[in-house]
Amino acid sequence: MPIDVPIVKLTGASKHFSGTRALEGVDFLCRTGTIHGILGENGAGKSTLIKILSGVLQPDAGTVEVNGETVRFSNPTQAAAAGIVCIFQELSLVPDLSVADNISISAPPRKFGLIDRRAQHRRAEELLAQIKCEDVDPNSLVRELSLSRRQMVEIAKALGKDPKVLILDEATSALTSRDVETVYGLLADLKAQNVASLFISHRMQEIEKLCDTLSVFRNGQHIETFAKGAHSEGEIVKLMIGREVTAHYPPKPAPAEKPEYLKIDRLAWEGQLKGIDLCVGKGEIVGLGGLDGQGQKELLLGLFGVLRGLDGDIAINGQPCHPASPAQAKSAAMRIALVPEDRKTEGLMLAMSIADNLLAASYDRISDGPFINPDKARQAVAEGIAKLQIKVASPDDIVSTLSGGNQQKVVIAKWLMTDPDVILLNDPTRGIDVGTKQEIYKLIRQLADRGKTILLYSSDYAELIGCCDRVVVMYDGEIVSKLSGDAITEEAIVAASLNVGTQASTAAAGAHHG
């Protein structure tokens, strides 16, 4: 058998969506037993590529070959039957079914034509054990699981299909670092079993560490495929965005004592927040670090009035405040804004226009009495789009037609329109391209310079280090470490996240202050 027949081969593949090209004449191949990284900004065509490979989309032109045979998948089932299995960035789990149901959903074990629940349960346990997720109960509903657990269930589900080509589309973005390690180990095992993995990630370190072959896409075209190490990190970034990136993060101002603005005192909720004490100064950016699911999101939601039964005190500018709802939190008395974690469900109304989304939080500013003033509305929309340089054809276009990065800009612009004093950001750069990320970093710094109080949660340590004046690390609902200035290092954050050696890092931070 000739080893040289690639498992997957695309020739001249093109795909257009109503005038815009998503892929243009792409030749691409992938071999068994490799971990193949795919790099590119959002809109570079990576998603379209994997959607074609996994049968969600059909190419307008060009051919797809699997193992040397030309195929045409009309749905994901056919692709899975050919051994191509995709773990999607947007989860493909059904929330109201159990974990076991989900894992075996497309081909459940059957007895007399009916689904054999016991066999299905066993299968779920085996697959979960394979990715070290024994803590997930196969009987629990997917709805009840955290985002990171759901992602692992998604991986178990894909493994259950016995893939020859496994596609991971940002599959690690929501995972805890322990799970990420498990996934790395899993990919190495699969490689040994001659499975090809296609790995899409925005985290360069991840790709560098894991992949043996890299392909760069830009603007719907395949730029280059090369072995790892053939290009330096800088060169790769250059290939991706076609220009050299010099400064990743805007410069930080010299550390200075900021007047205290947001004060959180003994904040507790439902065992997920255990007495949080935190002060954020006016014009200061404080980062929230730690592993996923240690209470960071709950802290932000609590400050924004989403949680019921919150204990403890919150004061803004010395005034005690207890927002009972997001509507109160954004009111003139508090002026809080939250850029939520999931822009597709909590950030945007996907089926509505860009203009309607931008205005959604600030109707009181553009209305005369009960009526929306169209002139003010138009002006506000134009300002919002200009301020964040959102790339739109027309503000009346549906917001879901924008790329991920521009969608996120719409969410941020929407909240800036309310002229907030306290800005809470929940992982604002997740799943968006490098260029937009940098614009957002710059914007965050500008907002701080204009005296806004900013609390930033990020799952990317480099972002915390690059953007924040201070970083607090949370572990199991508590703040275990407060870092500032030069004490904000990757080691310190990682150590605190794992709750090891926190004494030392807190002491170091304290010493720095003193």
Q: Which residues bind another protein (CB under 8 A)?
A: 56, 75-77, 80, 88, 90-97, 101-102, 105-106, 108, 113-115, 117, 137, 139-141, 143, 157, 269-270, 298, 301, 306-309, 325, 345-346
Would you tell me how many other CB atoms lie within 10 Å of the CB of residue 243? Answer: 9
**For residues 138 and 395, which CB has a smaller minimum distance to another protein in the complex?**
138
Burial class (CB in 10 A: 0-12, 13-18, 19+), 472: buried
Q: Whole-number minimum distance, CB 56 to another protein, in Å?
A: 7
**For residues 29 and 97, which CB has a smaller minimum distance to another protein in the complex?**
97
Cα 285 from Cα 416, distance rounded (Å)? 16
Q: How many C-alpha atoms does 49 have within 13 Å on its Cβ side?
A: 35
**For residues 300 and 464, which CB has a smaller minimum distance to another protein in the complex?**
300
Long-range interactions of 254-260: CB distance < 8 A, separation 24+:
255/469, 255/484, 255/485, 257/281, 258/282, 258/283, 258/284, 258/469
b/e sequence 381-408, b meaning 16+ C-beta within 10 Å: beebbeebebebeebeeebebbbbbbbb
b/e sequence 432-454, b meaning 16+ C-beta within 10 Å: bbbbbbbbbbebbbebbeeebbb
**For residues 114 and 256, which CB has a smaller minimum distance to another protein in the complex?**
114
Q: Whole-number minimum distance, CB 211 to another protein, in Å?
A: 25
Cα 49 from Cα 26, distance rounded (Å)? 9
Q: How many residues does the chain have?
A: 514
Beta-bridge partner residues of 21: 16
Distances (CA, A) of 133 to 92, 152, 153, 179: 19, 8, 8, 9
Going by C-alpha positions, the residue among 213, 185, 263 that lies closest to residue 422 is: 263
**For residues 95 and 234, which CB has a smaller minimum distance to another protein in the complex?**
95
Q: Residue 327 gets which letter from DSSP?
A: H
**For residues 29 and 350, which CB has a smaller minimum distance to another protein in the complex?**
350
Would you tell me how many other CB atoms lie within 10 Å of the CB of residue 260? Answer: 15
3-state secondary structure (DSSP) of residue 337: strand
Q: Whole-number minimum distance, CB 299 to another protein, in Å?
A: 12
Q: Residue 476 gets which letter from DSSP?
A: T
Q: Whole-number minimum distance, CB 157 to another protein, in Å?
A: 8
Q: Whole-number minimum distance, CB 90 to another protein, in Å?
A: 7
Q: Whole-number minimum distance, CB 143 to another protein, in Å?
A: 7
Q: Whole-number minimum distance, CB 92 to another protein, in Å?
A: 4
CA 315 to chain centre: 30
Q: Whole-number minimum distance, CB 98 to another protein, in Å?
A: 8
Contact 268, 485 (CB under 8 A): no
**For residues 36 and 150, which CB has a smaller minimum distance to another protein in the complex?**
150
**For residues 51 and 222, which CB has a smaller minimum distance to another protein in the complex?**
51
Q: Whole-number minimum distance, CB 179 to another protein, in Å?
A: 21
Which position has the token pair 């191949």?
29
Q: Whole-number minimum distance, CB 85 to another protein, in Å?
A: 10
Q: Whole-number minimum distance, CB 444 to another protein, in Å?
A: 24
